[in-house]
Each structure stands twice: as C-alpha cells, then as structure tokens.
Amino acid sequence: MKKLLFMLLTVIGLSGCTDIPGDQSSAGTPVNDQSISRTIDALVSGHGMEEQSRIERGVKQVASLWRTEDGTIGDFEQFCKENFISGPGELDMVFQKISRNMEILNGHFNKIMVELKSNVSYMKP
C-alpha cells in the first residue's frame, strides 16, 4: 500500500512537469546554455540528424529539471548521453511499459473513486 501511495504521489507530482518554451536553463538549475548545446551536439553526432528534434526536446526537459543536488554539469551531460533512447525497438518497448503502467495506475484511481463514492450513495435518503 505504501508503494502504491508513493507511486501515486510521484505521478501526481510529475504531472505538472511540462516542456516550457523559452530559456530552459533559468532559475533553479545549474545547467547553462553551453552545456545544453554541447550535449545536444554530442547526441546528434552519435545518433544522427533524424533524432535531432527529440534530442533537443529531451535535453532541454532534463536541463529544466536538473538541480545542483543531482550532480555537476558533467554528470548532467553523462546522464543525457547514457539515457537517450534512439532505437525504434527500444523506444517502442519503453513506450509500451510506460503506457501499461499508466493504465494500471488509472485503473486503480478509478477503483478508488468507485469505492469512495459507494459510501456516499448509501447515505442518500
């Protein structure tokens, strides 16, 4: 039960994280524009131009969430390089796993709501 509660709180907390247009390296993150550009260039050279838009979006999202306690700029660059998924097979597999997990969570949310509403319906005159 504690694990489910932790997962639910994590999902709720992350649901507010969106791709904000503009300067991704603003307040709160130690990652600067040069580091972002260097990371994007390294990933594009390693994975090809066809992945460039995904690389740019992903690196900027990670940079917007990166905090000092997460590590240095070198750690940020290494994290992006190690965790970028480029192969269509692996990308599809990760999508399927996340999709399945979200479906499970949403199913549990639905079950919780039905259970909570069941008490209310008995109280009506």
What's 38-103 look like in SS3? HHHHHHHHHHCHHHHHHHHHHHHHHHHHCCHHHCCHHHHHHHHHHHCCCCHHHHHHHHHHHHHHHH
Residue 119 shares a structural domain with residue 96: yes
Q: What digits encode the pLDDT tens for the residues 34-79?
A: 999 999 999 999 999 999 999 999 999 999 999 999 999 999 999 9
Residue 34 shares a structural domain with residue 67: yes
Is the pLDDT at 14 greater than 70? The verdict is: no
Is residue 113 very low, low, confident or very high in pLDDT (cuts 50, 70, 90)? confident
pLDDT for 26 equals: 46
Residue 115 lies in a domain: yes
Residue 93 shares a structural domain with residue 59: no
pLDDT, mean of residues 20-33: 63
119 lies in which domain range?
87-125
Residue 8 lies in a domain: no
Instruction: Tally the domains of the chain.
Output: 2
Residue 74 lies in a domain: yes
Residue 22 lies in a domain: no
Check if the beta carbon of residue 51 is closer than 8 Å to that of residue 43: yes
Residue 72 shares a structural domain with residue 92: no
Residue 40 shares a structural domain with residue 59: yes
pLDDT for 10 equals: 60
Lowest mean pLDDT among 2-6, 21-25, 94-98, 112-116: 21-25
